[in-house]
């Protein structure tokens, strides 16, 4: 793989000379580096403030259980983009994992997204698809008089009716946002999927699976080139080190994947994000939930969901500890400066602020902004990869000619 080193281990050494510097070793940066070395004779140096590559998709193997831990929460690869699927399969085989989610409500476990199984279990019925559809239309129709829902509560009830909304959406969303749904904008849920069959596959994409040897190995393979070097533990905004903003911008092409507002020293204000905290719980059991992800729809459970990592990879059972399992409980909150930003809040004020930063970014000499943080957007992994492939062709490649 690429030559990876830690900044603390190379203090005093001369900096690596490269034709392009990429700030951030997440998927956008790695894909861009791979594309540069595949299509040109240029050299690339990647820096990251963290002590690992992979950004939020980074994973490691837990010694006690043998489970692959997704350090920044569950990462599930799925796409309907043929080009992206062909691209990722160049660097790893993928398992046949299909994501299914269940939720606990009032002491009972239901399948998600809401489907015919959920409906029949919830109403203790045996509705046919047409009967279930009429029921939901009737319950949602009770709120048809609300022409323009003023908050998330009204929007949810208008979409799927009050019983299902209250059971599976209201409190879960309130925990996600740390705000009563009656105080949240209706725009957060423009639609709520309800399936009138027993299909509980969570994603509807053409392709789905997990990297067979783990996320980190997949991404190591992506940058397996002697023309790619990586230095970890590097702060781009520390002007006392050679890979700083002041020393690089304007002298060499830079691909920047950090927070766009931080790049400009928050001069126009801070963009708002949500973050998540994790609490680890270990059980002296082979399998605690029987599924990889269990949501908790009720307000009396403080976390939104629990992730049991073993269950993402049943094909690895022989390499896992049959007497131990590890679960992470996930808590959502508003991010403060210094927290890991996960999901952009995207209020109208945030959108307006980002538009101003985007205008400034376009004027930066030889700098391409990308990734979630660099473009203030929520992306799934396949979307990050697709935007990186497009950015290479339309923005990066012209800088190298």
For 134-172, the pLDDT digits (tens) are: 999 999 999 999 989 999 999 999 999 999 999 999 999
* pLDDT for the residue numbered 136: 96
Catalytic residues: 191, 195, 274, 305, 330, 378, 380
Closest CA to 196 of 102, 118, 141: 118
Burial class (CB within 10 angstroms; exposed 0-12, middle 13-18, buried 19+) of 211 = buried
* Gap between the Cα atoms of 256 and 23, Å rounded: 5
**Scanning the structure block, which residue is given the tokens 């004020």?**
349
Residue 329 φ then ψ, to 5°: -90, 135
pLDDT at 325 over 90: yes
- CA dist 387 and 393 (Å) reads 10
CA 303 to the chain's CA centroid: 18
- What is the radius of gyration, based on Cα positions, of the chain? 23
Give the percent of the chain with pLDDT over 70: 98
Half-sphere exposure of 316 (CA within 13 A, CB side): 21
What's the Cα-to-Cα distance from 361 to each of 171, 265, 344, 350, 356, rounded to whole Å? Answer: 39, 13, 18, 16, 9
CA 367 from centroid of its chain's CA atoms: 24
β-pairing, 343-344 with 273-283?
antiparallel
Its pTM stands at 0.94
218-241: pLDDT as tens digits: 999 999 999 999 999 999 999 999
Across the range 355-377, mean pLDDT stands at 97
Backbone angle region of 134, left / alpha / beta, with phi > 0 → left and psi within -120 to 50 → alpha: alpha
């Amino acid at each position: 793989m690429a030559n990876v080193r830690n900044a603390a281990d190379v203090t005093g050494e001369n900096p690596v000379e490269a034709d392009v510097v990429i700030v951030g070793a997440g998927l956008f940066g790695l894909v861009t580096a791979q594309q540069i070395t595949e299509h040109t004779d240029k050299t690339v140096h990647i820096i990251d403030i963290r002590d690992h590559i992979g950004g939020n998709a980074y994973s490691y193997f837990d010694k006690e259980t043998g489970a692959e831990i997704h350090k920044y929460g569950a990462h599930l690869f799925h796409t309907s983009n043929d080009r992206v699927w062909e691209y990722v399969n160049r660097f790893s085989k993928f398992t046949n994992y299909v994501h299914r989610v269940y939720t606990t409500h009032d002491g009972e476990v239901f399948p998600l997204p809401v489907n015919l199984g959920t409906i029949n279990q919830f109403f203790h019925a045996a509705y046919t698809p047409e009967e279930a559809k009429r029921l939901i239309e009737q319950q949602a129709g009770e709120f048809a008089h609300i022409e323009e829902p003023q908050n998330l509560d009204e929007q949810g009830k208008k979409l799927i009716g009050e019983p299902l909304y209250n059971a599976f959406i209201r409190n879960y969303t309130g925990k996600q946002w740390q705000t009563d749904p009656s105080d949240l904008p209706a725009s957060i849920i423009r639609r709520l999927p309800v399936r009138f069959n027993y299909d509980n596959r969570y994603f509807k994409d053409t392709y789905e699976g997990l990297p067979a040897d783990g996320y980190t190995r997949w991404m190591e393979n992506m940058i397996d080139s002697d023309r790619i070097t990586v230095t970890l533990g590097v702060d781009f905004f520390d002007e006392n080190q050679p890979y700083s903003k002041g020393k690089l911008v304007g002298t060499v092409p830079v691909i920047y994947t950090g927070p766009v507002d931080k790049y400009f020293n928050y001069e126009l204000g801070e963009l708002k994000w949500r973050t998540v905290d994790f609490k680890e719980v270990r059980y002296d059991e082979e399998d605690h939930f029987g599924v990889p992800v269990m949501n908790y729809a009720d307000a009396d459970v403080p976390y939104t969901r629990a992730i049991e990592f073993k269950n993402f990879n049943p094909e690895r059972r022989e390499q896992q500890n049959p007497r131990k399992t590890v679960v992470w409980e996930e808590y959502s909150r508003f991010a403060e400066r210094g927290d890991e930003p996960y999901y952009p809040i995207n209020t109208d004020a945030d959108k307006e602020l980002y538009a101003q930063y985007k205008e400034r970014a376009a004027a930066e000499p030889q700098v391409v902004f990308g990734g979630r943080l660099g473009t203030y957007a929520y992306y799934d992994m396949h979307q990050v990869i697709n935007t990186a492939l497009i950015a290479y062709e339309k923005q990066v490649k012209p800088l190298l000619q």
